[in-house]
């Protein structure tokens, strides 16, 4: 059964961030093993993202379609959909407002808590 959630990561200005503030973030699907998120519309990298409430159920296919519609390319569609489903499953385990980072592991990635909420400043 596909994972659904109403949570999504949005870009925050912490560390290296080439995305637009509040842009939705996804794991890199282009084969790049960088420990960074990818802006779903801009294609730019972001080091951190904050868990946000979207108000609508999201599934891997929705994120994949939006990424492709914005000009993104992937070498393996099935793998990309599996990564996005895992991404949504992991996001569900965090609280709204948590700031997350991403790190690559053997066959994918893991999200980690960087801050309980975005630092003031």
Domain assignment present for residue 70? The answer is yes
22 within a domain of the structure (yes/no): yes
Task: Answer yes or no: is 121 within a domain.
Answer: no
Q: If you search the block for the tokens 């790190």, which residue do you land on?
A: 103
Q: Specify the DSSP element, H or E, that contains 9.
A: strand 5-11
Q: pTM for the full model?
A: 0.89
| pLDDT(111) > 60 | yes
**What's the whole-number average pLDDT of the chain?**
88
Is 74 a domain residue?
Answer: yes
Q: Which domain holds residue 45?
A: 5-115
Q: Is residue 34 part of a domain?
A: yes
In a domain, 14, yes or no: yes
Higher pLDDT, 119 or 92: 92
Q: In terms of Cα–Cα distance, which of 84, 86, 66, 72 is closest to 44?
A: 72
The answer to whether residue 120 is domain-embedded is no
Indicate the number of domains in the chain.
Answer: 1
* CA separation for the pair 119, 26 (Å, rounded): 22
Task: Say if 67 falls within a structural domain.
Answer: yes
Q: What percent of the chain has pLDDT over 70?
A: 90
């Amino acid at each position: 059964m596909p994972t659904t959630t109403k949570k999504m990561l949005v870009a925050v200005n912490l560390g290296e961030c080439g995305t637009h503030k509040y842009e939705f973030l996804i794991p890199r699907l282009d084969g790049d093993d960088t420990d960074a998120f990818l802006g779903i519309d801009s294609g730019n990298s972001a080091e951190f993202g904050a868990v946000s409430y979207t108000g609508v159920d999201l599934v891997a296919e929705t994120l994949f379609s939006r990424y492709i519609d914005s000009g993104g390319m992937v070498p393996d569609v099935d793998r990309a959909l599996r990564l996005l489903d895992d991404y949504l499953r992991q996001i569900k385990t965090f609280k709204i407002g948590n700031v997350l980072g991403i790190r690559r592991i053997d066959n994918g990635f893991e999200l980690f808590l960087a801050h309980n909420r975005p630092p003031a400043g």
